[in-house]
Amino acid sequence: MAPKSPFYFNNVAKMLLVCAFLVQSPFVIGAPAENLIASAQKVSEGFITLSWKDLGDGSVTLQVGRDREFDQVMRSLQLTGQDQVHLSGFEDGVYFARLLSDTGASLSNTVRFDVEHRSLRSASLLFSIGAALFGSLVVTLFRFTRSDS
Amino acid sequence: MFAAQISTQTAIVILVLFGLAWVSFGWWLGRRNRTVDDFMLAGRNVGLALASATAMATWVTSNTTLVAPQLTYQFGVWGMVGYSMAALGLILFAPMAKRIKALMPKGFTCGDFIRVRYGRGAWYVFLVVSFCYAMGWLISLGMAGGILLHSLSGLDYHVGMTVILAICVGYTLLGGLKAVIATDFIQTLIILCGVLFIGYVCWQDVGLTRIYETVSQEQPQLLNLLFPAAIMFLFNNIFFGIGEIFHSNVWWSRAFAFREGIGKKAYLISGLLWLPIPIVTGFIALAAPALNIYPPSPDMVGPLVAAKLLGSVGAVFVFIVVFSALASSLDSLLAATSDLLTEDIYRGILKPGASNEHLFKVGKWVILGLGLLTWVLCLPRMTTLGELLNFTGAFVASTIWPIVFGLYRPRLGGLYAGLAMLLGTLLGLIAFVQIGFYVAALTSCLVSLVVCLFGLALYNEEFNWERLQRMEK
């Protein structure tokens, strides 16, 4: 069998590199780039920061919905000159977000984030401890100040 | 660029004009400073009007103008109410200011008190706590300057932060506490009028009904009074505010600087005047969705809403108000932290025999160094203002009980006071990491109380108050 020419190895190496790039790259043909990022996947305070890149300073529409198909759009925000937005006040639930152009074309991937607030029981416990501690401080200071004067 | 902003050139012109005005005023006020008492404590002769104004203006800071809207935007009604409860710190400190002046008529810093009252071990812990807090607050103020300018004019964060820091360092360096207090008085008038005007315009132009409808539709959790994280935040913020005031040399140096019999009234008046301000600044954040404002970062919501409400001319007004709020705190903190470092670290540890004239010069170098350090730490915009400030909550809340017991009860020993601050801070930081920033101060304060109660039960020696009068070394 004749030895392979250097040209042959060169082409194989190039093909392998292209394959590796296609596997690694988020820019898969037919799907929008992975350019929309959520600051967290699980949120327990009801607020989140969504950021994006490579979209310039133009206007974009950020849609937030309750399902991946965006049949139920909860918020549709026109944003200009921003590359991130901080949203707050979400109730418990699963949310999806994506970016659209002015013409409605998709500009980003869809991100999912889950909002699950902390339990009211543990919050009430901390509230009660705080109230008791504050009451003790006020009473202590009042008594000390009275005895001082 | 956002929709409602001033041009970068206008922002620079205002900065230059304000910078020149404050620095010249600082130089004019400080030209007769001759002693360390003049520079650090304004001659210990500040009257009621200036005393109330400086206490209020110092407490109206980036926290109030930028973080109160941030916390309302994140935690809703409880965020707004919880923030205003920080006024309790000033109100509860009022009787303590009287006691401090009576116990230590010749005192310079809160560090002096801890050293004489509890000994060196607790003093070292206290200095670490106090310095960490002071740096956290200084960084937050520097960052706030950059964020403010960027929000309103698009000016680069680093440029805005650098210029605001340079101006405040400039006039504090030239005028000392006298300049800080005098500029605070003018800044208080600007802040009060400005905040009330913006709140009024928001109420008139947007209206309560529209705000309520938009928030309940887009951010329903903000109106929920059983919002778990917000409920946790409420008392945490109260203890954070109380800890900040009880331990910080910003407030102690004023207690020493105020004329005899003034401190209690001044702190009470300033607390009552301050109480409604975060409600107003927080309220405007709730108008954000009604005005189609969705900020890139939560700490930008206040200036963005105000600028949109008032238009581009109004943005200039907003800029001046927030700039005044920032400057009034930044200068106070620079002066007070410099006093602490000069008096406690330099004279207390490095050069015990230093003369007052020598300290006068060292104090100025320390202000310059602090300004430089703050600038370096502000360069990478590490986190949001709210999170940075609440991180320091774990430190300051641990000092509340050791200071209260230390001022009024002779039985708490230095070992327990030091342990209370150390363990309170450590467990507060663990809570900060494990649960969230809204529980750090509460945890720290609780742990500190438990240690102090053990100390009171186990320690039998009584402290002699005259040692504070004599300012023993």
For A135, nearest residue in chain B (alpha carbons) = B235
User: What are the pLDDT digits (tens) for B156-185?
Assistant: 888 888 888 888 788 777 766 767 777 777
**Of B201-205, B236-240, B355-359, minimum mean pLDDT range:** B355-359
Q: Above 60 in pLDDT, residue A5?
A: no
Mark whether A126 and A109 lie in a shared domain. Answer: no
Mark whether A69 and A106 lie in a shared domain. Answer: yes
Structural domain includes residue A20: no
Q: Is A51 helix (H, G, I), strand (E, B) or coil?
A: strand
Measured between beta carbons, which residues in chain B are less than 8 angstroms from residue A129?
Answer: 235, 442, 446
Q: Above 60 in pLDDT, residue B438?
A: yes
In this structure, are residues B338 and B125 in contact, taking their beta carbons and an 8 Å threshold? no
Residue B193 phi/psi, 5° resolution? -65, -45
Contact between chains at B221 and A134 (C-beta distance less than 8 A): no
Model confidence band, residue B149 (pLDDT cutoffs 50, 70, 90): confident
B80 close contact with A: CB closer than 8 A: no
Structural domain includes residue A58: yes
Mark whether A104 and A134 lie in a shared domain. Answer: no
CA distance A134 to B312: 44
pLDDT at B329: 73
Mark whether A105 and A66 lie in a shared domain. Answer: yes
Contact between chains at B229 and A138 (C-beta distance less than 8 A): no
User: What are the pLDDT digits (tens) for B68-114?
Assistant: 899 999 999 999 998 898 899 999 999 999 899 888 887 878 888 99
In this structure, are residues B318 and B191 in contact, taking their beta carbons and an 8 Å threshold? no
CA distance B334 to B7: 30
Q: Above 60 in pLDDT, residue A32?
A: no
Structural domain includes residue B285: yes
**How many structural domains does chain B have?**
1
Mark whether A69 and A92 lie in a shared domain. Answer: yes
Structural domain includes residue A46: yes
**How many structural domains does chain A have?**
2
CA distance B407 to B470: 16
Mark whether A90 and A133 lie in a shared domain. Answer: no
Mark whether A86 and A140 lie in a shared domain. Answer: no
Domain hosting A138: range is 119-149
Return the bridge partners of A50, or none: A38, A85
Structural domain includes residue B34: yes
In this structure, are residues A114 and A43 in contact, taking their beta carbons and an 8 Å threshold? yes
Structural domain includes residue A19: no
CA distance B135 to B391: 12
B411 close contact with A: CB closer than 8 A: no
Give the residue, A5 or B112, on which the prediction is more confident: B112
Structural domain includes residue A12: no
Model confidence band, residue A26 (pLDDT cutoffs 50, 70, 90): very low
Structural domain includes residue A1: no
Measured between beta carbons, which residues in chain B are less than 8 angstroms from residue A133?
Answer: 235, 239, 442, 445-446, 449
pLDDT at A63: 93
**Of B130-144, B382-396, B431-445, minimum mean pLDDT range:** B382-396
B216 close contact with A: CB closer than 8 A: no
Structural domain includes residue B438: no
Q: Above 80 in pLDDT, residue B297?
A: yes
pLDDT at A24: 43
Average pLDDT, whole number, for chain B? Answer: 83
How far does the CA of residue B144 sit from the closest CA of chain A (Å)?
17
Q: Above 80 in pLDDT, residue B332?
A: no
Q: What is the DSSP letter of A48?
A: E
Mark whether A71 and A138 lie in a shared domain. Answer: no
pLDDT at B467: 87
Contact between chains at A46 and B229 (C-beta distance less than 8 A): yes
DSSP letters, B320-334, are: HHHHHHHHHHHHHHH
Question: Mean pLDDT highest for which of B81-90, B184-193, B431-440?
Answer: B81-90
In this structure, are residues B69 and B280 in contact, taking their beta carbons and an 8 Å threshold? no
Structural domain includes residue B28: yes
Structural domain includes residue A9: no
